[in-house]
A and B are shown apart, each in its own frame.
Chain A
Amino acid sequence: MNSTTLLLVLLALVAFGYFFGRNRSLAAVHSRGGHRRDLHSLPEYYGYMAALWAGLPALLLLLAWSALEPTTLNHLLVAHFPATYQGMSSNDIGLALNSLHLEAGQGNPADIADPAQRQQVAYLLHLQETSRLLKTALVVVLSLAGLAWAVSRISPRFRARNAVERIIRYILIAASSVAILTTVGIVLSVLFESLRFFAKVPITEFLFGLEWSPQIAIRAGQVGSDGAFGIIPLFVGTLLIALIALALAVPIGLMTAIYLSEYASPRFRAIAKPTLEVLAGIPTVVYGFFAALTVAPAIRAFGESLGLEVSSESALAAGIVMGVMIIPFMSSLSEDVISAVPRAMRDGSLGMGATRSETIRLVLLPAALPGIVGGILLAASRAIGETMIVVMAAGLTANLTLNPLEAVTTVTVQIVTLLTGDQEFDSAKTLAAFALALMLFITTLILNVIALHVVRRYREQYE
C-alpha cells in the first residue's frame, strides 16, 4: 500500500494501542483485587505509553524509508545497467534514470519498443513493488512489536507517567535540533556542491576574477565556450545597490525613529507605526514590480531630460526601492536601540538646559551609537541577501562599475538566473550558483554575527 494508506493504518494502530494499554493497566490492578488508585500513574498514561511505542518507531521508519527510497532505488538501477551504459557521464545517467521513471509511471512496460529499456523498466517496477511490500511489512511489524514491548511492561508499579514524560522530552529535544539540522543542511548542501564547482573552476579565479560570463559550451569547440567565473563584478554590483539602499534607509529610518519616539503625539504614533508595519509587510516581489515598471522608467526619463544616459535597469532604481523596503526595519531597530538609553541620561541633559534636539544629537545618539551601527550592519545584511527586487529591476550582465546609472547585476540575481534556466544539474553553471550561495551565506553570517555581538554588548552596558 502507498504511504498515505500506511499512515492511516499506523494511526489506527496507535489509537488501538492507547485503548489497549489503558485497559490493560486497569485489568492489571483489578485482577489482583485492587483499585485504580494502586496504579502508579493514571491509566491514561499507560495508554499513552503504549500508543507512543506503537507509533513512534514505526513512524520514524516510514519517514526514513520514504526519504531514502528514491536515492537507493536509483543506485540499484544504475548498478543494474547493462555494460553499454558504463562510462556514461553523470548527466546522461540522470537523463536515463528520468526516462526510466517516466516510462514506469505509464505502468505498461509491454508498450516499450526497445528491449533493453523494457527490461530496465520492468526491473524498476519490480523494485518499487518490493519496496512497497517491504515498507508495509516492516512498518506494521515494528508498530506491533513496539506495542507488544510496551504492554509487556505494564504493571501497577510501573511508572508510566515518567516514561511518557521522558519520551515527550526527547521529542521536544528533537524538534529543537531541527534548527541545527537546518543550518547543517544548508552548510553541507551548499558546501558540497561548491566543492564540486571548485573542482571545475579554480577558487582563485572565482574569488579574484574580474569577469563574470558563465557561458559554458554545449558542445566542445563551440564559440564562446569558456566561461569566466570571477565574482568581483557581482560583489561590486551587490555592494553598489546595497549602498544606495542604505544611503536612503539609514537616515530616513533613524530620523523616523527619533521623531516617533521623541516628538510625535500618541495619535500621530498610532497612525505612523501601523503604516510602517504595512511598508514592512509588503512582499518583495511587489517592490520588484514597482521598481521595474514605475521607478526605473521614471528615473530613466528624468535622467534623460537632464541629458544623462540612464539604463532602464539602473542600479539607482533597484537601490532606491530596496531602500524603501528597508526603512521600517531600520526604524524599528533604531527605536529599540534609542529607548535602551537610560532615562537618567536624557534627564541629565535636559536638566542642564539642553533643548530636545541637542539632547538627542549630543547625548542620546552617541550613547546609542554601537546599537545603531549594529542595526546598520543588519540592514546591510538584509540588502545583500535581497533577491526579488534586484531580479526584477536590476540587470543580468555583470558590469564592474560604480556608476549608479548603469545596469549592474548582483550575486542573488545570478543565483536565480543560473538555476532557473535550462541546464543539467551538474554543469559548472549550475554548480556556480551554489558557490555564489556559499559566498552569500558566509557574508551575511559574518555581518549578522558582528551585528548581534555589537548590539548585545551595547545592551549589557545599560542593564
Chain B
Amino acid sequence: MTNTEKVKRGLAKRYRKERRFRAMGLIAVLLGFAFLIVLLSDITIKALPAFHQTYLKLDINLDPEVLGLAPGRPLDEKAILHADFRSVVRRSMYALFPEVRKRRDKRKLAALVSTGAQYQVRDRLLRDHALLGQTFSMWVLADDDVDTYLNTRSLRDLKQSERRLRDNQVAWLETLKQEGRIESRFNWLFFSSADSREPELAGILGAVVGSFYTLLVTIGLAFPLSLAAAVYLEEFAPRNRWVDFIEVNINNLAAVPSIVFGLLGLAVFINFFGVPRSSPLVGGMVLALMTLPTIIIAARAALKAVPPSIREAALGLGASHTQMVFHHVVPLAMPGVLTGTIIGMAQALGETAPLLMIGMVAFIVDIPQGFTDSATVLPVQIYLWADSPERAFVAKTSAAILVLLGFLVLMNGIAILLRKRFERKW
C-alpha cells in the first residue's frame, strides 16, 4: 500500500474519535450551564412563596376594658404598649365564627392569625388614638401555616394527619375566603423587619444592615492595607529574601481555608483583644484579613501594568521616587485596584464559615445600630434559617439567597463596568 492509501485507511476512525472528543468537551460545558440553571431555578421556585403574604380581614373592636386600659387615665404611649391586644385580636376571630364553642377549637381558630397581628393593631392605635372604643376592619397577618397551606396546592390533597392545619381550620379558611376576608399581598415585611421565630414575621433587614456594617469595616481595613502593601511590594521593595518571604506568605494566605481565619478571630481578636463577640467590628477584621491577598494581587497587577514610560517621564522631571509613585503610578492604577477591591468585597459578602466562628450564630432580633452591637450577616442568616424545620422558612431562605445573589450580581456588575470604562490598554 502506498503511504497515501495507508493514511486514508485510518482516517474515518480518527475523525470519529475527533467528533467524540469534541462532543465530550461540549457536553462538559453544557453540564456546567445545566448545573447553574438547575440551581437558580430551584432556588427561585422555592423562593416565590416568600414574596407574598396572606392577610386576614378582621373586625377589630378596641374595647378599653378588654385592652386593660382604665377609662379615666390619659392615653399615653406607655399605656398603649402594655395593653392587651392579643385578646382583642382573639375576640375578633371568635366574633367571625360565633358557633365555635369548645376551648380547643377556639385555640385552633385563634392560631390562624399570626402572633404579630397584635403588634399591628397596637401600632394602629399608636398612630390614631381616636380609634379607642371603635370597631373597624383591618387586615392582619395570617399565621405561616395558613400561608403555606394556601400556597402549596399539593397540601390540600393530604389527609389531616399529614399536614399542620386541621380540617376545621381548613374549613374556616374556606369560609373566610368566600367572605372575601383573605388576601395575598406583596411581602414588604420581608425587607423591613429583622429575624423572628415566626416565619411570617421574619425579615432580612437585620442581616442586611449587619452585612453592611461588616463590609464597611472590611473595606475600611482591607483597602488601605492592601494598597499600601501592594505599592511597597511592587514599587519600593528590594529583591531580597525577606520580601520573597512576604510574597510567599501572601500567596499562601490566599489558599488557607476560610474557617481558619475565623479561628484566628476567635482566639486573638475576641479572647485576647476583647473585641465584642458577633459584632461587625470583629467580623470585618476577620474578613479584611481574608480579602487582603485578593486585593493585593489585583493591585500589584494594576500597578505593574502602568508603563515605564510614565514613570521615567515623572522621574525625568525631577520627581522623587515616592512622588512618582503616589502622584502618577497609583492614580493610573486605581481603576484596577478598585475593581479588585469590589471583587474582594463580593467574596467577603458571601462568606459564612469564619463568621460562624466568631459567634454570629446567635438569634438576633434587633437591627444593629453600630459596629460593636451584636449582629448577623446575610449568609449566616441564610444558614440559620436553613436549619429551621418550618416549611415556611424554606421559602424565606430561598428568598434571602436571591437577595444575596442580587447584591453579588450588582457588585460584580459594577466591577466589570468600572473595568470596561476606566481601564486603559497601554
Contact = CB atoms under 8 A, between A and B. Distances in A.
Given A259-B22, A275-B33, A175 B232 contact: yes
Contact of A176 (B33, B46, B233, B266): B233
Interface in A148-175: 161, 165, 168-169, 171-173, 175
Given A172-B228, A286-B382, A353-B7, A186 B43 contact: no
Contacts of A254: 28
Nearest to A162: B320
B271 A289 contact: no
Interface string B4-22: 0001000000110110011
Contact of A168 (B17, B271, B322, B379): B322
Nearest to B326: A168
Contact of A452 (B249, B251, B268, B408): B251
B184 interface: no
Contact of B232 (A169, A251, A252, A293): A169
Contacts of B266: 419
A434 interface: yes
B25 interface: yes
A452 B43 CA distance: 37
A161 B268 CA distance: 38
A185 B233 contact: no
A183 B249 contact: yes
Instruction: Determine the main DSSP class of B at the interface with A.
Output: helix
A369 interface: no
The CB with the most chain A CB atoms within 10 A, among B229, B236, B257, B361, is that of B257
B232 A285 contact: no
A90 to B, nearest CB: 12
A290 B42 contact: yes
A178 B225 contact: yes
B256 A444 contact: yes
A445 interface: yes
Contacts of A242: none
Contact of B353 (A183, A258, A357, A387): A387
| Majority-rule SS of A interface residues | helix
A459 to B, nearest CB: 14
A258 B25 contact: yes
Interface of B: 7, 14-15, 17-18, 21-22, 24-29, 31-33, 35-36, 39, 42-43, 46, 224-226, 228-229, 231-233, 236-237, 245-246, 249-253, 255-261, 263-264, 266-268, 271-274, 289, 292-293, 296, 320-322, 346-347, 349-353, 356-357, 361, 379-380, 382-383, 386, 394, 397-398, 401, 404-405, 408, 412
Interface of A: 66-71, 161, 165, 168-169, 171-173, 175-180, 182-183, 185-186, 189-190, 192-193, 251-256, 258-260, 262-264, 272, 275-279, 281-290, 292-294, 324, 327-328, 331, 353, 355-358, 360-361, 378, 381-382, 384-388, 391-392, 412, 415-416, 419-420, 425, 433-434, 437, 440-441, 444-445, 448-449, 452
14 contacts: A172-B232, A175-B226, A186-B263, A189-B264, A190-B263, A252-B31, A253-B28, A262-B25, A263-B26, A290-B39, A293-B386, A357-B22, A419-B266, A445-B256
